Amino acid sequence: MQLKRSGIFVILCMLIFEALIIMTVWIEPLTWGVVPLTGMRAAVSYVLLWLVWPIVGGMLLAAIMPRILGPLFIKLKGLVWRQYENAYVDIQPPVTQGRALRRALYIGLLTMGVVSLLIYIFPPSLFIPPGSVTEPIPIFHLASISSMAGLIVPIAIAMWSVGWSYHDASIIHYKLLEVEKNELFEIEPVYLRYETLLKGYAGLSSILFIVNLLVYQLAYQDALMVVLVLYVFLHMTLLSLPSLYVHSRMNHLWLRKNLPKARRLTKSDIQILEE
C-alpha cells in the first residue's frame, strides 16, 4: 500500500488528535484511581489500553501471526475440504487505500463482535477504579467498553491478517471436474474461504451488539452513550491503520512454498458449445 504524503499527514494528525482526547476528556474523571486489571493508575492504564497496545500490539501481531496461523489454516482446510488442491497464481494484487479502509472496517466489526461476548463474561468493575463510578456499573460503561476493545483489537488484526496474506500471495484452491458425480470445476482464492468465516461472525455479532446497545441505553434514556460506545470502535478502527500499513509492506510470497503455479484463465480458455 503506497501512501501519499498527504495521507500520512492526515493519519498522523488523527492519531495525535485521538491521543489528546484520551489524555484529557476521556480519562480525566478516572485519573486518580487504580484499575484492578492492570494494578496501575487509570491515566496510565487507559493510555496503554486505548492507545499504545492497539497500535504497537496490532503491528506486532500483524507481522507475526500470519507466519503461525497461515500454514495452520492451510492444513486444517486440507482436512475439511480434502477434494481441493492448492496452488498459486503469479500475480501480486496491490493493496489500495480503498481496500485498506475496508480491512480497517472489518477489524472494527470483529472487535465489536468479540466485545459483545466479553461484556457478559468480565464485569465492568475489572476495568474501572473502585469508587470512581456509582454502583451498579452498567455493562456499556465507556471506560470498560474501551478497555475491552483496546485489548481485543490487536487479536482481531491478527485474525484478519492471515486472510490478507492469502490474498496478497494469490493463493487459490480448486476442485477438478468429476464426470461421474456430475460436478463442475471450482476455483476460488483461499482468502475467500477463510474470510467468509470471520465476516459471518463479525457481521452477525456486531448487529446483535448494536441492537442490544440501543435497547439497553434507550431504556435508560441515554441515547448519547450509544454514539459514544460506537465511537469507541471507530477509534479502534483508526488505530489499526498503522498495522495495515506494516502488513502491506511485508512479503507474503513465502506462502507459495511447495505449491504449484496455476495458469491464469482467460475468456478464450472457456468455450461455449452449441448443441
In a domain, 207, yes or no: yes
Task: Evaluate the omega torsion of the peptide bond into residue 242 and state whether it is cis, within 30 degrees of 0.
Answer: no
> Which of 49-58, 71-80, 90-99, 168-177 has the least mean pLDDT?
90-99
Q: Are 128 and 141 in contact (CB under 8 A)?
A: yes
Closest by CA to 71, choosing from 202, 190, 187, is: 190
Q: Are 161 and 64 in contact (CB under 8 A)?
A: no
In a domain, 274, yes or no: no
Write the pLDDT tens digit of every residue in 211-266: 999 998 888 767 888 888 888 898 889 889 889 989 988 888 888 888 888 877 77
Backbone dihedral angles phi then psi of residue 64, each to the nearest 5 degrees: -95, -45
Q: Measured between alpha carbons, how far is 46 from 182 in angstroms, rounded to an integer?
A: 59
In a domain, 54, yes or no: yes
Backbone dihedral angles phi then psi of residue 86, each to the nearest 5 degrees: -100, 150
Type of residue at 37: L
Using only C-alpha atoms, the chain has a radius of gyration, in whole angstroms, of 22
Q: Measured between alpha carbons, how far is 94 from 102 in angstroms, rounded to an integer?
A: 14
In a domain, 138, yes or no: yes
In a domain, 131, yes or no: yes
Q: Measured between alpha carbons, how far is 95 from 101 in angstroms, rounded to an integer?
A: 10
Q: How many domains does the chain have?
A: 1
Rounded to two decimals, the pTM is 0.84
Q: Measured between alpha carbons, how far is 48 from 31 in angstroms, rounded to an integer?
A: 13
Write the pLDDT tens digit of every residue in 2-37: 555 666 666 677 667 666 665 665 555 555 688 999
In a domain, 159, yes or no: yes
In a domain, 107, yes or no: yes
Structure confidence at residue 100 (pLDDT)? 84
- The dihedral built from the CA positions of residue 85, 81, 62 and 9, taken in this order, carries a sign that is positive
Domain assignment of residue 208, given as a range: 5-31+41-261
